[in-house]
Amino acid sequence: MKERYWSNEELSAFCLEFSLLLKAGMSVAEGFSILSENEQESKKKKFLLSLYEKTIQRVSLHQTMLEGEVFPPYLLKLIYIGEETGHLEECFASLSCYYDQRIRTHRLLKETVMFPLVLFVMMLAVVILLLTEVLPIFQSVFAQLGGTLPASAMFFLHMGVALKQSKNLLLLIIGIFVVLAVLAWRVEWVQSRIKNFSQRRLAKMKLGRFSAEAQFASVLSMTISSGLDTNRALEIAEEFCAETVFWTKIHECKEKTQLGMPFAEAVEEEGLLKPMYCRMLAIGIRSGNIDEILLEIARRTEEDSSLLLTKTASMVEPAVVVILSLLVGFLLLSVMFPLVGIMSSLG
pLDDT in tens, 158-203: 777 787 777 777 778 777 877 776 766 666 666 666 665 555 555 5
Q: Are residues 279 and 239 in the same domain?
A: yes
- CB-based contact 283:82 (threshold 8 Å): no
250 or 243, greater pLDDT: 250
Picking from 74, 78, 71, 55, the residue whose alpha carbon sits closest to that of residue 3 is 71
Domain span at residue 200 reads 101-347
- CB-based contact 74:236 (threshold 8 Å): yes
If pLDDT is split at 50, 70 and 90, which confidence band does 1 have? Answer: very low
Q: What's the number of domains the chain is made of? A: 2
22 — alpha (psi -120 to 50), left (phi > 0) or beta?
alpha
Residue 110 lies in a domain: yes
pLDDT at position 14 is 93
- CB-based contact 15:92 (threshold 8 Å): yes
Task: Note the pTM of the prediction, 2 decimals.
Answer: 0.67
Q: Are residues 113 and 64 in the same domain?
A: no
* 234-240 own/partner pairs: CB under 8 Å, 24+ apart: 236/74, 236/77, 236/78, 236/81, 239/73, 239/74, 239/77, 240/74, 240/215
Residue 287 φ then ψ, to 5°: -90, -5
Q: Are residues 309 and 265 in the same domain?
A: yes
Q: Are residues 130 and 271 in the same domain?
A: yes
Q: Are residues 233 and 173 in the same domain?
A: yes
CATH number at residue 203: 1.20.81.30
- Torsion sign across C-alpha atoms 52, 53, 55, 61: negative
Q: Are residues 59 and 129 in the same domain?
A: no
Q: Are residues 169 and 63 in the same domain?
A: no
In angstroms, the CA 10 to CA 70 distance is: 10
Residue 158 lies in a domain: yes
Q: Are residues 114 and 169 in the same domain?
A: yes
- Torsion sign across C-alpha atoms 325, 328, 330, 332: negative
